Amino acid sequence: MSDNKVSVVLGTQWGDEGKGKLVDILAKDTDVCVRCQGGNNAGHTIVVGGVKYAFHMLPSGLVNQECISVIGSGVVVHVPSFFKELEDLQTQGLDCDGRLFISDRCHLVFDFHQIVDGLKEGELGRGSIGTTKKGIGPAYSSKASRSGIRVHHLYHPAEFEKRLRTIVAARYRRYGDFGYDVEEELKRYQKLAERLRPFVIDSVEFLHKELRAGKRILVEGANALMLDLDFGTYPYVTSSNTGIGGVCTGLGIPPSKIGSVIGVAKAYTTRVGGGPFPSELLDAVGQKLRDVGAEYGVTTGRPRRCGWLDLVVLRYSTMINGYTSINLTKLDVLDVFDEIKVAVSYTINGKEVTSFPADLDDLATATVNYVTLPGWKQNISKCRNFAELPENCQKYVRFIEKDIGVPVEWIGVGAGREEMVAVGLAE
């Protein structure tokens, strides 16, 4: 029996931490890169040789020409978007032939899911979640209600047609006639099914064979822990399990096969869309973080909300996901600040709280308690080892490590692939 284990990269905050860049670096020593959950609502940007690649649904490991990439069973797939993203990457010179596969158990996202996504947001009005309107939530709702359509259904036309007509009729009863042409959709998916066929595999069997063969497998999480359906800021969350549990359920891999778990944490905090954000800065400092950090969404283009690093969030995330090391990203964005604040606890109803509360009403009343650290006011983008970082910059990193009890293994000091400091766990 092989003792080979998979490595996992997960977001620690509210997403957009820069997971794709680390996955790209690790993929050069990886045989198989896998997505386990989410859909094309995710967004990774990777810069290689001055070329910027945008990933939404496809695994970032595709940038490595020697790496096989797999979309696992827990991912929901909008097939037209799958091909559009693939074509865009190939236009930029990436040869993906024969090294991209999709699980036959993936649930499908249809255009009607995207329409319903917008209708649901409209119903919520000012209390809307702030979704990407990519149809991800409604597709997962179809899955949970056992009315969803999976990839393998595409190859049984009568069953596919029956299921599509049934699910659209149910949405019409709920929302009225929203102008969805089922007949055209059936024709379109006849062609898409054949185009997709060469990519479809039994991913459970495939991944376990690769594990037994000693192949190196890297799992790329989408979104982040604070958007997890169970452990995030519910209901301002995504519709899948974005933590370590989603790796097991989204791929069919047992916990005993999980090896290293690298948590990717931005050196400050951002989030997109609605929901609580205790350390958010609604002033000139927040705008400065946004401008210097170019904080605009890859998938939507929306400006991200910005604030100081929140160690309450990071501690909570660490408890749940069990990170073995941290990749601290975009540390260079803090180069321009005279002093840097770090949230260390909240005060709620007169009591100090050091873990993230479930109740959003309690959270809305929280006062954030900060520690202020001195900035370094130096450009760190050329640093390539920890000793080259300014003293105050090193102290900032060590402060985070001491608080969460997890070593920082990687430090991002710029957008490019080469702009990364490998700290080494022995340092």
pLDDT of the chain, 427 residues: tens digit per residue: 346 899 999 999 999 898 888 988 898 899 999 999 999 877 777 777 778 888 899 998 898 889 999 999 999 999 999 999 999 999 998 899 999 999 999 999 999 999 888 786 665 555 555 566 789 999 999 999 999 999 999 999 999 999 999 999 988 888 888 788 899 999 999 999 999 999 999 999 999 999 999 999 999 999 999 999 999 999 999 999 999 999 999 999 999 999 999 999 999 999 988 899 999 999 999 999 999 999 987 666 789 999 999 999 999 999 999 999 999 999 999 999 999 999 999 999 999 999 999 999 999 999 999 999 999 999 999 999 999 999 999 999 999 999 999 999 999 999 888 899 999 765 4
Q: What's residue 2's pLDDT?
A: 47
Q: What's residue 293's pLDDT?
A: 95
The model scores a pTM over 0.85: yes
Task: Decide: 34 and 69 in contact? Cβ < 8 Å.
Answer: yes
261: β partners: 8
Q: What's residue 1's pLDDT?
A: 31
Which residue in the block uniquely carries the two structure tokens 């709702």? 141
Q: What's residue 214's pLDDT?
A: 96
Q: What's residue 125's pLDDT?
A: 54
Query: Using CA atoms, how far apart are residues 183 and 195, in angstroms rounded to an integer?
Result: 19
The amino acid at 191: K
Query: Using CA atoms, how far apart are residues 89 and 62, in angstroms rounded to an integer?
Result: 9
Q: What's residue 425's pLDDT?
A: 66
Length in residues, the chain: 427
Nearby residues of 113 by Cβ (< 8 Å), 6 or more positions away: 78, 135, 136, 138, 139, 142
Q: What's residue 4's pLDDT?
A: 85
Query: Using CA atoms, how far apart are residues 124 and 392, in angstroms rounded to an integer?
Result: 46
The amino acid at 257: K
Q: What torsion do the CA atoms of 314, 316, 317, 322 make, to the nearest 10 degrees?
A: 110
Task: Decide: 256 and 11 in contact? Cβ < 8 Å.
Answer: no
Question: To which H or E segment does residue 233 belong?
Answer: none
Q: DSSP letter at 97? A: T
Query: Using CA atoms, how far apart are residues 14 and 317, in angstroms rounded to an integer?
Result: 10
Query: Using CA atoms, how far apart are residues 138 and 239, in angstroms rounded to an integer?
Result: 9
Nearby residues of 92 by Cβ (< 8 Å), 6 or more positions away: 51, 53
421: β partners: 411
Query: Using CA atoms, how far apart are residues 285 and 141, in angstroms rounded to an integer?
Result: 39
Task: At 388, list the tokens.
Answer: 């080259």
Which residue in the block uniquely carries the two structure tokens 């949405």? 171
Active-site annotation, residues = 16, 44
Q: DSSP letter at 373? A: E
Q: What torsion do the CA atoms of 382, 383, 384, 386 make, to the nearest 10 degrees?
A: -170
Q: What's residue 124's pLDDT?
A: 59
* Four-residue CA torsion sign, 247, 251, 255, 259: negative
Query: Using CA atoms, how far apart are residues 379 and 232, in angstroms rounded to an integer?
Result: 34
Q: What's residue 46's pLDDT?
A: 78
